[in-house]
Structure 1
Amino acid sequence: MKSMNILLVCAGGMSTSILMKKLQQYRDEHGATGQIKAVGLSAYEDVYQDYDVILMGPQVAYRQSEVQTATGLPVAAIPPLDYAVGDSAHIFELAASLVQ
C-alpha cells in the first residue's frame, strides 16, 4: 500500500470522522503512511492543497464535479455500502485507483 494523503468530505464532517478513524487504523495496521482528514463541505477549500485525493460521502456525492473543478484533484464518491460499513480495504483501493 503506497502513501497517500486522503481528504474525506461529507455534509458536516461528523460521519466521515468515524470513517476516518477506521481508515487510520487500517493504514497503521498495513504499514502505510499518509494523512487522512475528515472535513465538511464548507471547509475542504481551506485544506485540499495538502491532499492527493478527495473522497466524498454518499450524501454529498451530487457535489463531486464542483469539488473536482474547485480543487483540480481526483475526486470520487465512496460507494454507500462501503461508507455504511466502513470497508477500509475497498475505500483504500478506490483512493489508490484515483491517484495512479
Structure 2
Amino acid sequence: MKKIILCCMAGMSTSMLVAKMQRAANEANIECEIYAVAADQLKSNLDGANAVLLGPQISYKLPEIKQLCNKVNVPCDVINMLDYGSMNGARVLNFAMKMFLEPAD
C-alpha cells in the first residue's frame, strides 16, 4: 500500500483534495493511504511515506521540505495550482504515483 502525504500550512485546506484523491484511487482499485498534515508536523509523519505533495500556497517551503524528504528518500513536489484549485483528485493522484513509480532524474 502506498502512502501519500499532502502538506499545507495547517493541514486543513488539503482535506477536500485528499477525499477526492482517495475516491479516485478507490475507483481505479489503487491501494493507498492519503492524508493531509500541517507543514510543521511533516517530519513526524514521514515514516513509510512514498510521496509528499505540497499545496501551492506553501510552494516557498519546497527547498526546506525537499531537504527533509531527501534524507529518507521520499520524493516531494508542489501540486499544480490548477489541479489544486479545481480539486482534481484524479490528476493529483496520477502526479503522486508518477513521483514514486518513475526513477528520479
Provide the aligned length of Structure 1 versus Structure 2. 98
Please tell me whether the aligned partners of residues 7 and 53 of structure 2 are also in contact (alpha carbons under 8 angstroms): yes
2:67 paired residue number: 69
Alignment of 1:56-95 (within 5 A): 56-72=54-70, 73-95=74-96
Aligned Cα RMSD in Å? Answer: 1.1
Question: Which structure 1 segments of 5+ residues have no match?
Answer: none
Distance 2:97 2:23 in 1: 17
Higher helix proportion:
1
Provide the secondary structure at the position in 2 that maps to 1:35: strand
> Helix, strand or coil: the match of 1:49?
coil
2:25–2:90 contact (8 Å) kept in structure 1? no
Cα deviation, residue 36, structure 1 = 0.5
Amino acid in structure 2 at the alignment position of 1:78: I
Unaligned 5+ segments in structure 2 are none
Matched residue, 1:46: 44
TM-score by length of 1: 0.91
More divergent stretch after superposition (33-42 vs 89-98): 89-98
Match of 1:20 in 2: 18
Q: Which runs of 4+ in 1 moved over 3 A?
A: none
